[in-house]
Structure 1
Amino acid sequence: MFQVYLVENDRNLNHLLSLYMQKEGWTITSFMNGENACKNMEKCPHIWIVDSHLPDMDGYQILNEVKETYPQVPFLLISDRNSTMDRVIGLEMGCDDYLAKPFLPKELVIRARKMMELTYGSVRTTRKKTEYHIPPYVVDEMKRVVRMGTTIIRLTSKEFDLLYLFIKNPLRIFSREQIIKNIWGQDHFGSDRSVDDLIRRLRKKMKLLRIETVYGYGYRMLQSIYSDQQRKNTIESNSTITI
């Protein structure tokens, strides 16, 4: 589930926003100052929600540091100033959204949800199935199949397990050892190169999925390489192909 970093020094507002976001099923890690938040930056949450005026540093400073290291991670800046210039500065520095105080907690939740859906794809849940939408792919958790348009992309059990691991942890970097533990379990006796082979096969079958190699460490999944025109062209060219 989505991991949220909330940096807000107003204790009451911090608590209130945390409660609203927890109702969405998100995991909230809240901070009262920027220093502690920055110390935990390498854990890479799915979204940052930061007050622009903190007791120890400017929220714009946190924005700059986050975007330098993790440019794809959504960042929502909240501020008690509603000037056009503040908005422009934040957007120019890479802020994905700006919310001026006072605001309704529900509005913040809606904005945060839309930002994460845009970055990681939407998740639709019913009593019968759970589908993850990572354009142009639809991943059906219950049936353990992947669709692209009308085409079924047939994955092996291990390939689907790896894909699902990435889907549940977007942008998180996994070492080869962590992937082995999650996919094969503790009793795996093969080489860690089996991870590289599994990655290669998944990339071959899902060419628009962005699986990044973090050299010297492991892998992580970014957004899919996708646009409306790419989707149209890809679906048309693959409509008669069984993978």
Structure 2
Amino acid sequence: MSDYQINLVEDEQSLARILKTYLEKEGWQVNVFYRGEDALEHLHSPCHLWILDIMLPGIDGYEVLKKIKSNSDTPVIFISARDQDLDRIVGLELGGDDYLSKPFLPRELVIRARKLLKLFHEQHHSKTIELCGYSIDFIKRKIISKDEEIELTTKEMDVVLLLAGHLNKILKREIILQHVWGEDYFGSTRAVDDVIRRIRKKMPRLNLETVYGYGYRIVPQ
């Protein structure tokens, strides 16, 4: 899978630009944040990996890490200029999945990121999940109900897989629109509502909730 979404939180702008370039060469989409506060505003946006500097102005990386892990199981690589065992131990205890101390080669970060993405996402999504009486296969893009395949359009399938990949997480209409229709789409968020309505008709047992004024989520029964 090449269209991974990476959130990079690094206050050194020159370093952030270099790391972004290396990560994007892998075909990944990279969002850069220079402050912890800015990163937390995107806590519920679709993301496959966080790369998080510990030493940040304002809210530090430890606080951001705790918020991430309290909201999802998205893997986190944390980095620090202080090459101390304490940083590594505290970060891992808070739920960090890997650790790099500065200075490091950008290529090393790419290798660590690729390893975590494969471990957490490719293996996870190679299996069919059972959800509300439906079998959802992320790789084959198939949904089976009582031995019959549910016929969905491409957009309907994209939305179901996006929400099923972020169970219990509320995704804004704008986020769904951006992820499924693309950043160049300038239509109304009504397109999301129309697709959700069709999904509910085709998959009536799916516990697809509307969070009014915000967006949608799937909650396992």
TM range (shorter): 0.5 to 0.7
CA distance in 2, matches of 1:18, 1:191: 33
Aligned equivalent of 2:150, options 151, 156, 161: 156
Please give the per-residue CA displacement for 1:156-206, whole angstroms capped at 9, x wherever unaligned: 331876444444674275579x69xx79xx899x996653353457x7xxx
- CA contact under 8 A between 2:11 and 2:57: conserved in structure 1? yes
Task: Give the Cα–Cα distance (whole angstroms) in 2 for the partners of residues 10 and 94 of structure 1.
Answer: 24
More moved, 38-47 vs 3-12: 38-47
- TM-score, normalised with respect to structure 1: 0.62
When residues 200 and 160 of structure 1 are mapped into structure 2, their CA distance, relative to the original with a 3 A threshold, is: farther
Deviations 1:116-171 (A, max 9, x none): 2222226xxxxxxxxx9522557346xxx689xxxxx7623318764444446742
Kept in 2, the 8 Å contact 1:174–1:220? The answer is no
Q: What letter matches 1:77 in structure 2? A: F
Q: 1:166 to 1:49 in 2, by over 3 A?
A: farther
Equivalent position amino acid for 1:20 in 2: Y
Q: For 1:139, what is the secondary structure of its paired residue?
A: coil
Q: Distance in 2 between matches of 1:139 and 1:191?
A: 21
Q: Secondary structure at the match of 1:102?
A: coil
1 CA distance for matches of 2:152 and 2:12? 46
Q: Identify unmatched segments of 5+ residues in structure 1.
A: 123-131, 148-152, 204-211, 223-243
The superposition leaves residues 35-55 of structure 1 with CA deviations (integer Å, 9 ceiling, x where unpaired) of 222223232422211110012
Identity of aligned residues (%): 31
Give the number of the structure whose alpha-carbon radius of gyration is greater: 1
Consecutive unaligned residues of structure 2, counting only runs of 5 or more, are 129-136, 182-189
* Structure 2 CA distance for partners of 1:114 and 1:101, relative to 1, 3 Å: same
Deviation at 1:96, TM superposition (A): 1.5
Q: 2:60 aligns with which of 58, 72, 85?
A: 58
- Count, aligned residues: 192
What are the within-5 Å matches in structure 2 for residues 58-77 of structure 1?
58-68=60-70, 70-77=71-78
Task: Look up the match of 2:85.
Answer: 84
Tell me the alpha carbon deviations over residues 82-139 of structure 1, each in whole angstroms, 9 at most, x when there is no partner: 22222111111111111111211112112122222222226xxxxxxxxx95225573
- Give the CA deviation at 1:214: 4.9
> Is 2:132 aligned against 1:134?
no
- Give yes or no for the alignment of 1:218 onto 2:202: no
